[in-house]
Chains A and B, each alone.
Chain A
Amino acid sequence: MIPPDANAPITSGPPRPGFSPRALVPFYVARFKIEIATSFAYRGAMLIWLLSLIVQPLVSLVVWTTVADSQGGAAGGYTASDYAAYFIAVMVVNQLTFMWHMWEMEWRVRTGFYSPILLRPLHPIHEDIVGNLSFKLLTLVPLVPVAVILSIVFDAHYPTTVRDAIAFVPALILAIGLRYMVEWTFGLLAFWMTKVTAFYQLFGSLSFFLAGQIAPLSLFPKPIQTLASVLPFRWTLSFPVEVALGRVDGRGIAAGLGMQVLWLAIAIVIMRLVWSRATKRYSAVGA
């Protein structure tokens, strides 16, 4: 047993800091500057990433507008112009909600990258959040003109009302937060398994369908739609897109925002539980 006198803190070090979001501001600012500087150093790589974010929805767009045209102008309740609007909106919302840290988790755990990070008096998720936000901010600049040009070329139809535009803002922010929490937490599987990218791939494919990336969810059979709405997938991408395109009524918007808040709260609780278990398992290999 350790003698009781050893239990008292014995140095006059800094006082115990409580958690306050305001204390994070200097970190976010400093880290943001670094991220921007680094991104400019690797602007070539960033442009290629951006390109990959554009190409995939563009392929879906071309396929579905062709289908709609071949079916006499509309398929599944969407005209060719509706499809164009849908996939351009998916492109923008996906760019704003996507995250890649899940794919880095395996490498981080395997190489001992986490060792110095775990010993900082700051949750590692903050660093990833800044990295993610700065990437989005930088890639949004070229993406917006791309979206405008594509809208003109494909004659996209946006029946967006003022109510839809206003509701889109919280729906988008909640989608960003939710997708981030879900995928970051899923990435923590790497603490239990050394080769985990196959699971990430599976998760990514599920998300591809159930979040409405490959086609509007309303085209899927009812059970699939239900599954996408009960699980967090729809709320991470499809929902803000549907809101922006005026496909959700007032009650639907309220219920959808409620689901997003609920899932976000659940995801944060699960993240904290999983994180504390993950770090107990951490074996700090290679370092």
Chain B
Amino acid sequence: MRSSTPAITVRDLRKTYTVPEREGGLGAAIRSLVRRTTREVVAVQGISFDIQPGEIVGFLGPNGAGKTTTLKMLSGLLVPTSGEARVLGFTPWERDRAYLQQMALIMGQRNQLTWDIPVIDSYQLNKAIFRIPDADYKRRVDELIELLEIEELVRKPVRNLSLGERMKCEIAGSLLHQPMVLFLDEPTIGLDVAMQRRIRSFVAEYNRRTNASIMLTSHYMADVEALCERVIVVHHGTLLYDGDLPGLVDRFSPHKTIVVEFEEGETIADERLASIAAAGGDVVARSEHGLTIHAAKGDTPRVTGQVLAAVPVADLTVEDPPIEEVIERVFASQGAGDQTGEPTAAMVPS
């Protein structure tokens, strides 16, 4: 760990929601008038971590894992049930004006721009709300418009923008006060690949220019792989993993994938396949031209040796499984007793 003071410190943070509960039907509706039954739903159960100034951290977990609840507590929107957090030296949920002036929470599906007026007028309003000096405002607005390529858009009313255009304008509006801590909740949700890529490179650029600390949730692993050296994985409100991305693969992925392409006209004999299996290779796909084999990490060199001995090879690659697959496995293995339906589906990019 670096020696500087963390930008974000979280200790044993918990959030429990009390939700009313009743069965369907008229009878139950009438009974609930007399006696309301409620149920405690634990959204976040005691997570702790530190984030350093300038770090970009991917915050991963299936739907209902507690990601958004955590971001809402750290931005100051929700008061936790127990636990502590400090962001830039402030307790977020006290919503100190000085804290709010250095923080931004950007949610992919939430609109903070005023619907009926041109985007630039909303920016003017933010300038007044955040008390941004004229010179800073002018410089930042020009810079953000250029970086996000929105000069054509800012004169239009928000209601005339497409989802992707609106998202870019939202992001620019949320950064005019130059927050030093940025919480991004699904910033690329519903956007096409080109737009996702642009927003991704913009976030990286913002981080480089301002050294802001960024926490990012996304269902698109490409976002996380492009931006985050470090990931925090939560599931059922508890912290499963905190470390770098390769470490996550190492820890949760038991195998590597060996992809073999035969030389032209060559094929592999069945007894050779048996020797590959004996070395620990699990042939998951076989065609006339090649093989795909899964092997435990420790067995990989031996299996590769067997393959090379078995058949003339034109090309051979050894890969870690795709990060989506690893994450899916993490949640599946932790998913016993899961109540959110299909915990893994959320992690697969559509």
Contact = CB atoms under 8 A, between A and B. Distances in A.
6 residue pairs, one from A and one from B, having the closest CB atoms: A9-B89, A116-B112, A27-B128, A121-B100, A13-B102, A121-B97
B296 interface: no
Given A8-B5, A13-B180, A284 B124 contact: no
B101 A118 contact: no
A119 B127 contact: no
Given A2-B11, A30-B124, A33-B121, A120 B100 contact: yes
20 contacts: A1-B11, A2-B84, A8-B5, A9-B98, A10-B53, A10-B88, A13-B101, A16-B97, A26-B127, A29-B128, A30-B127, A33-B121, A34-B114, A34-B121, A38-B116, A42-B116, A118-B76, A118-B77, A121-B98, A287-B107
A81 B7 CA distance: 71
B89 A6 contact: yes
A115 B73 CA distance: 12
B76 A119 contact: yes
Interface in A1-27: 1-3, 5-11, 13-17, 19, 23, 26-27
A7 B89 contact: yes
A246 to B, nearest CB: 43
Given A17-B131, A33-B121, A115-B107, A1 B78 contact: no
Q: How large is the interface on A (under 10, 10 to 19, 20 to 34, 35 or more residues)?
A: 35 or more
A33 B125 CA distance: 10
* Interface SS of chain A: loop
A157 interface: no
A120 B5 contact: no
A282 B11 CA distance: 22
Given A2-B9, A5-B5, A16-B97, A287 B117 contact: no
Nearest to B6: A6
A38 B113 CA distance: 13
Interface residues of B, number: 48
Given A34-B114, A38-B117, A116-B110, A8 B129 contact: no
A54 to B, nearest CB: 26
Contacts of A42: 116
A115 B72 CA distance: 9
B86 A7 contact: yes
Among A13, A31, A41, A283, max chain B CB count under 10 A is at: A13
Nearest to B77: A284
A19 B97 CA distance: 9
Nearest to B85: A2
Nearest to A12: B180
Contacts of A31: 125, 128
A191 to B, nearest CB: 13
B78 A2 contact: no
A37 B117 contact: yes
Interface string A250-287: 00000000000000000000000000000110111001
Interface string B66-92: 000000100111110000101011100
A112 interface: yes
Contacts of A26: 127-128, 131
Given A9-B89, A121-B129, 8 more contacts: A6-B5, A14-B102, A16-B96, A17-B131, A26-B128, A26-B131, A34-B117, A118-B77
